[in-house]
Amino acid sequence: MALDIVIMAAGKGTRMKSARPKVLHRLAGRSLLQHVLQTASTLGADRIIVITGHGAEEVEASAGTSGAVFVRQMPQLGTGHAVQQAAPMLHDQGTTLILNGDVPLVAPATARHLIDDCAGERLALLTIELPDATGYGRVIRDAEGDEVLGIVEHKDATPEQRAIREVYTGMMAAPNAALKRWLSQLTNDNVQGEYYLTDVVAMAEAEGVHVVATRAANETEVLGVNSPAQLADLERRYQRGLADALMEQGVRIADPARFDVRGELACAPDVDIDVNCVFEGRVEIGEGAHIGPHCYIRNAVIAPHAVIHPFTHMDGEALGVKIGRGALVGPFARLRPGADLGEEVHIGNFVEVKNSTLGKGAKANHLAYLGDATVGERVNYGAGSITANYDGANKHRTVIGPEVHVGSNCVLVAPLTLGEGATIGAGSTINKDAPPGQLTVARARQMSITGWKRPVKQKK
């Protein structure tokens, strides 16, 4: 049996007070629409159809390689009018699942339950009871409360109907053939002058098609986003759910209210995460590692028992960042793409590492830059030293052998090799290979000038 999924994403989102289309506002690092597309991709659909309207080109471009096809609703004349635009693309037989692009956290299991309750022959509505149902369509049942008779939109509901707490979430599953027929019969005879998708419920009842209500697992998965405040509320709900899941696995999170994952975070037991840390992309943290407060970590693998001190900025982009077992990083360190730190490496305050590997026990503890470098084991890299890796057109590599000591305030002009056990005198600018085991110094000779006097300011 064919499965079509229709995602409604045409709305402007006036209450967001933003030039950005509503479905492109971000939750946990991804757009609202991307969350819904991810859920849809798990359901084995034969076709995913996204209905666009406001900012259609931007919305369609954001879908990337999702495999979705698009139809446009121009102008926007209601939810029923939106699905009418998708009707020609639906299979003649099968099930259509209708999701909302601004309701990002519906669980795949709930969506699957809705599809199963439809089974290609019933109209299945996703409902939930809310303490405050303002703005939602109310579910109207028969006197016994068993049969669903219809949905009344909030704006059209009587005071008695507005007292009903069971609401329609905007998501349904319907038999394709019947849905196409019902869509063709919709009218806009209501307060708003719009074509309501919910009118198909009464049509189903009139035809004797059984209407069933599928209950959502929780309120969070059916909450929509219509304002910045609602987006912020949903963000915290989502983050709290991730934090709870991690803590159940043995991760210690200092304050779940100050914890943000904007991608995927995988943690082994006994990981400690302090407050105000942000994780983006794909981050893996090994057993017993400690993440200090106010760290930003993106696309990184952190080995067991590493310590990331406060205010560390780690962004691996496409190349990633790797932190070895027992390494110490920060505070105020910056690790860029391709930074690969071995076991027990120390990267201290205001040290930047980019596209460089550091062997076991190497140390750069203060105010230094390592770019495009290969650093051997137990190297000591002095404060204020840099690799000059860019000649204005091309990048060049610096190779620093094991046991090398680089003094403070040195400039290593790549391409360059420092032999094993070499010592580079403080303040040197090195542009030729340094032999192993020797002291290499390249700086002006110190002079003291007898009789020299400091200039004094002339009186006017």
Q: Which of 91, 366, 396, 405 is catalytic?
A: 366
Residue in 224, 223, 261 with CA at minimum distance from that of residue 242: 261
Residue in 156, 177, 157 with CA at minimum distance from that of residue 165: 157
Q: From the CA atom positions of the chain, what is the Rg in Å?
A: 31
Round to the nearest angstrom and report the end-to-end CA distance of the chain: 97
Q: Give the span between the Cα atoms of 60 and 9, in whole angstroms.
A: 10
366 is annotated as an active-site residue: yes
Residues facing residue 128 across a β-bridge = 167
Residues facing residue 26 across a β-bridge = 31
Find tokens 């920060």 and name the residue. 330
30 exposed, middle or buried (CB, 10 Å; 0-12, 13-18, 19+)? middle
The set of residues, in sequence order, having a beta carbon less than 8 Å from that of 235 and lying 6+ positions away, is: 27, 28
Q: Give the span between the Cα atoms of 35 and 37, in whole angstroms.
A: 5
Where would I find the beta strands (DSSP E) of 230-336?
Answer: 252-253, 259-267, 272-273, 277-285, 290-291, 296-302, 307-308, 313-315, 321-323, 328-329, 334-335
Q: Give the span between the Cα atoms of 98 and 61, in whole angstroms.
A: 21
Q: Give the span between the Cα atoms of 168 and 198, in whole angstroms.
A: 9
The set of residues, in sequence order, having a beta carbon less than 8 Å from that of 60 and lying 6+ positions away, is: 50, 52, 70
Please list the active-site residues: 366
